[in-house]
Amino acid sequence: MNSAKDILAVSEPLDHLQVNSVTPYHFFSSEEWARFRADTPMTLTAEEVSRLRSLGDPIDIDEVERIYLSLSRLLSAHVESSQLLFEQRNRFLRLSDIVKTPFVIGIAGSVAVGKSTTARVLKELLRRWPSSPKVDLITTDGFLYPNEVLRREGLMQRKGFPESYDTAQILRFLSAIKAGQPDVRAPTYSHLIYDVIPGEYKVVDRPDILIFEGINVLQSRDLPIDGKIVPMVSDFFDFSIYIDAEEERIHNWYVTRFMRLRETAFLDPNSYFHRYASISDTEAVSIAEGLWSNTNLKNLRQNILPTRPRADLILRKGPNHLVEQVALRKL
């Protein structure tokens, strides 16, 4: 269990963290981290990076070179080590017909912090390794309870909180993935209609790597008093990443994104938020501030941020939405 001192350490200035012997992390500036790229080739073009980034995220090819190529190289080492251990264990147990299960990477962090962009960029980098692994990406949005259920249970204002997800369904999905089952179905979600799409699924068929992205994927849970097995979502992860930033910066990014969505997605008459496209800017800012304060900020403080010390790697973003610090858990 990490102490409160460890949790606070991640938010403190880098020069202090480097001399803090208590922390379970190694800390690097973005410039130091970039050097770990070594000879990892750039396999994305500037145009591809532009297509992969989310609205309001300024990530570009330079940021991929600075941060994500080194991360790709690190993940390659972890995947190779996992495969080696798998082979060694099979020899130890004298097994010959066991298929290696997917290497699962969890990505957590607040809304508007850039999780989706990170997940998409990593997916493309990983699938272009020389070994051409099969890489799938699943987000937890599809595992939200349908709006009908959330309304019935009085949870619409807590959408995104842990209780708004069908955790049992998430655990069944990840259990099937780690059991090596073929054609495992994950429900899909539409940000246009702001709801799970009934009867629509994404099929995951034994990938080499699965990226599982969502705000609460590192969430812990109360342990049973009788010692029964009650898994957590993160129990199925081989590596976990937390996207971090100061609270006020995330707040600003959220409001800015909301205002930009009024000029894009909200203009669609089918959008759940279409009503916000025609109101005044002043009214829109007020609504965005209310959504942030009443829902997203509470979720960040109560549920998301407390999971940060559980991550294997933390990407800390600066005011320009680009990574300025990297924390890597010590082995």
Higher pLDDT, 222 or 1: 222
Instruction: Give residue 298's pLDDT.
Output: 97
Is 268 part of any domain? yes
Is 62 part of any domain? yes
Instruction: Give residue 264's pLDDT.
Output: 95
Q: How many structural domains does the chain have?
A: 1
Is 38 part of any domain? yes
Q: How confident is the model at residue 299 (pLDDT cuts 50, 70, 90)?
A: very high
The answer to whether the Cα torsion of 186, 190, 193, 194 is positive or negative is positive
pLDDT in tens, 66-84: 999 999 999 999 999 999 9
Instruction: Give residue 21's pLDDT.
Output: 63
Is 331 part of any domain? no
pLDDT in tens, 111-131: 999 999 999 999 999 999 999
- Show the domain range for 163: 4-325
Tokens 């002043």, located at residue: 282
pLDDT over 60 at 17, yes or no = no
Q: How confident is the model at residue 9 (pLDDT cuts 50, 70, 90)?
A: very low
pTM for this predicted structure:
0.92
Chain-centroid distance of CA 144 in Å reads: 15
Instruction: Give residue 8's pLDDT.
Output: 40
Report which residue type is found at 322.
L
Is 87 part of any domain? yes
pLDDT in tens, 142-170: 999 999 999 999 999 999 999 999 999 99
pLDDT over 50 at 302, yes or no = yes
Instruction: Give residue 180's pLDDT.
Output: 92
- The end-to-end CA distance of the chain, in Å, is 15
Is 228 part of any domain? yes
Is 284 part of any domain? yes
| Helix (H) / strand (E) containing 281 | helix 281-291
Transcribe 16-67 into DSSP letters.
Answer: HHTT-SS-SEEEEEHHHHHGGGTTPPP---HHHHHHHSPTT----HHHIIII
Mean pLDDT across the chain, nearest whole number? 92
Higher pLDDT, 49 or 221: 49
Of 247, 312, 318, 300, the C-alpha closest to 29 is 318
247: domain CATH number is 3.40.50.300
Instruction: Give residue 13's pLDDT.
Output: 45
Contact 14, 33 (CB under 8 A): no
Contact 104, 133 (CB under 8 A): no
Is 271 part of any domain? yes
8 by DSSP, 3-state: which? helix
Instruction: Give residue 231's pLDDT.
Output: 86
pLDDT over 60 at 20, yes or no = no
